Structure 1
């Protein structure tokens, strides 16, 4: 009965692609805002069954807390705690009192940029998204892709970068701490290394009120593009902060015969978030699809495993050695 009533409540609203617009804005109370929040997730969130989450039980826990909230900060804490129950880095609540964010990396600190740069010379920047250089100790190029957000022009310059590094014996592509961005941009880079058209990703969208209501699988392929294909050895560096669109990049790259993935397991964030707005003006995101590799293996909350595992940790807290980078260098020694 509760779910039926809440679905009727959601039916009063009309939502656009990026934010919600209300025909008849409900009374702006903590309870009414909670009902909209819970109902939006109930209808549109994609991972309830995959993660075995009992959303009705969480309603019973958190709605009374919304009723007890006496100020905005307390109400924000209710929504934040509820959102964190999903253990999803694509889910957050944005308010004047803070932003709820799930730490999918479990507090792991990324390798410092200066530690990497001590191995490089002639570092060049491409916009705010990419930098490239040569290794000091080896005839190997290095490309650091900081994000797959930003200007598409940065990623279209991958051809110029590969041309500049063509004399090297191979390339290391570092996507550690890359939190994602656009699938189009990650695919643009990956296409320069493709040997042929390959299926690398499947997605199915949430498309109905039931927790099991999805479209059929939509298949995504990556094909050779650009003036030439890079066929020399490539190592892709990953860690637990490699997330979202950068994981899609890894999904594509690991299919190519000249590529080796080195580092830690990726973050496991595949949700394709959509944005919604509460009656009180606060916004929130929720995951709207399920993604899988070509063999239908989902990686949400699990991540993608590297070919060569390097946890990049040391017993000595003062040891800032970049062990993953050193392991990547060994790959070229064995070529």
Structure 2
């Protein structure tokens, strides 16, 4: 659920921080409770040790530099590992959050390693080693982002003393992470946060804040209001709909040219204090909105699906949207985790839906702001023959955020998965390139460029017979 510019929910909990990317078709073999699953299981990839008992679940994180417990409750862990599927042998099992979601393969262990529950203080050097091991064992994108990253980090170890100040250690970690420029890499500590530096459109907004001596968030909010107003007033000419907790805008951008804009792959349900809506509730809120819009679009000659400002969310939401545009089952993309030995890539297939849908020409609009599950939607749509990607390249941050609490209470987020299209291409770090270029966010007039670009695109798609007579 999340990337740069606030694209993922800022949630520390393992369960709610973006590891619920889902998959193809529900499988009837999945079971919530399986008594023979009691015991200790080691994941392939991800660095998890899962203990299953009649009383609930416990999780530990295992690296070459040490093992330590995860703070998540059994109830939270059930959200991620509550269903099971048999593996290729009795001592291999797949745990998943729900039928059809991402499968995590585990091997049975005789017992939890002895040091995993040892309560002790971790020195700065030990924390450095855990941090280093976490990235060495799980980070997926060194070749694309910084091939020499581990070597440069190793060169910093001599600066770490046993009693190094926490702020100084955080600064060392954050400085190391900057060269990755990965929207899914973050470091969170009490009052300190590292996230990727703004690039592209977000960098322009940051510069605008500097020039006008205003807070960056204030400028971003102003720009977002201009973006939405441009859609409602310029693109939809005051006759649009702004619904689903203000995450979806739809209407007609031109005669017989439908327009649908989805701002996030979640957030359709207002978040109650301290509670993040479940994926099931998010889908339950979104599906009727899509039903209404696509029913209204009956008879349209073309549809613009605008995710140029989509900040990510649930992969399952992305697939639910993509399935409204396919008329037959289509293999869309694959994913697999770094270090998941002998685990075949998981194939994600789009299934046609019986709900209202659109099988005519679809023009999906993207930009460098489109990130994470927003990119997964585009990746899936590109497998459909009726879809053309328009705009500029996406951000290039596909992986779920693997959330790793460090032993001192800090939390690091990193990208550990590979996403590829069905030809085997991986677009991490470079983004999905458009098939039809369009300057969506022109830096010369960032407040109005999007509406003008969409207006021009919509006018170009009006069928000749629907154009007014001169």
TM band (smaller chain): 0.7 to 0.9
Q: Distance in 1 between matches of 2:423 and 2:132?
A: 33
1:155 paired to 2:210: no
1:204–1:214 CA contact under 8 A, matched in 2: no
Unaligned runs of 5+ in 1: 1-5
Q: Deviations over 1:280-335 (max 9, x none)?
A: 21111111211111111100001111121112355744872324313421441367
Worse-matched range after superposition: 248-257 or 281-290: 248-257
Q: Which residue of 2 aligns with 1:28?
A: 122
1:129–1:145 CA contact under 8 A, matched in 2: no
Worse-matched range after superposition: 183-192 or 215-224: 215-224
Q: Distance in 1 between matches of 2:382 and 2:256?
A: 23
- The change in CA–CA distance for 1:66 and 1:179 in structure 2 (over 3 A counts) is farther
- The change in CA–CA distance for 1:253 and 1:320 in structure 2 (over 3 A counts) is same
- The change in CA–CA distance for 1:103 and 1:113 in structure 2 (over 3 A counts) is farther
Q: How does 1:277-316 map to 2 (within 5 A)?
A: 277-312=405-440, 314=442, 316=444
Deviation at 1:171, TM superposition (A): 2.3
Worse-matched range after superposition: 85-94 or 311-320: 311-320
With the length of structure 1 as denominator, give the TM-score of the two structures.
0.85
Q: Distance in 2 between matches of 1:25 and 1:177?
A: 45
1:275 paired to 2:331: no
1:127 paired to 2:244: yes
1:145 to 243, 252, 262: 262
1:182 paired to 2:314: yes
- The change in CA–CA distance for 1:146 and 1:329 in structure 2 (over 3 A counts) is same
- The change in CA–CA distance for 1:123 and 1:313 in structure 2 (over 3 A counts) is closer
Q: Which residue of 2 aligns with 1:79?
A: 173
1:73–1:97 CA contact under 8 A, matched in 2: no
- For the residue of structure 1 that corresponds to 2:348, the secondary structure is strand
Q: Distance in 1 between matches of 2:116 and 2:180?
A: 26
1:207 paired to 2:324: no
Q: Distance in 1 between matches of 2:169 and 2:242?
A: 44
- For the residue of structure 1 that corresponds to 2:156, the secondary structure is helix
Q: Distance in 2 between matches of 1:69 and 1:320?
A: 53
- The change in CA–CA distance for 1:224 and 1:117 in structure 2 (over 3 A counts) is same
Q: Which residue of 1 aligns with 2:151?
A: 57
Q: How does 1:6-17 map to 2 (within 5 A)?
A: 8-10=64-66, 12-13=67-68
Q: Distance in 2 between matches of 1:133 and 1:285?
A: 34
Q: Distance in 1 between matches of 2:175 and 2:376?
A: 29
- For the residue of structure 2 that corresponds to 1:67, the secondary structure is coil
Deviation at 1:61, TM superposition (A): 3.0
Deviation at 1:93, TM superposition (A): 0.4
1:93–1:284 CA contact under 8 A, matched in 2: yes
- For the residue of structure 2 that corresponds to 1:100, the secondary structure is strand
- For the residue of structure 2 that corresponds to 1:59, the secondary structure is helix
Q: Distance in 1 between matches of 2:160 and 2:342?
A: 31
- For the residue of structure 1 that corresponds to 2:140, the secondary structure is coil
Q: Distance in 2 between matches of 1:129 and 1:304?
A: 26
1:264 paired to 2:392: yes
With the length of structure 2 as denominator, give the TM-score of the two structures.
0.62
Q: Distance in 2 between matches of 1:214 and 1:88?
A: 27
1:206–1:215 CA contact under 8 A, matched in 2: no
2:307–2:365 CA contact under 8 A, matched in 1: yes
Q: Distance in 2 between matches of 1:313 and 1:274?
A: 31
Unaligned runs of 5+ in 2: 1-61, 81-114, 206-222, 268-281, 465-470
Cα RMSD between the aligned structures?
2.9
- The change in CA–CA distance for 1:22 and 1:328 in structure 2 (over 3 A counts) is farther
1:126–1:154 CA contact under 8 A, matched in 2: no
- For the residue of structure 1 that corresponds to 2:347, the secondary structure is strand
Deviation at 1:68, TM superposition (A): 9.2
Q: Distance in 1 between matches of 2:166 and 2:260?
A: 45
1:235 to 360, 363, 372: 363
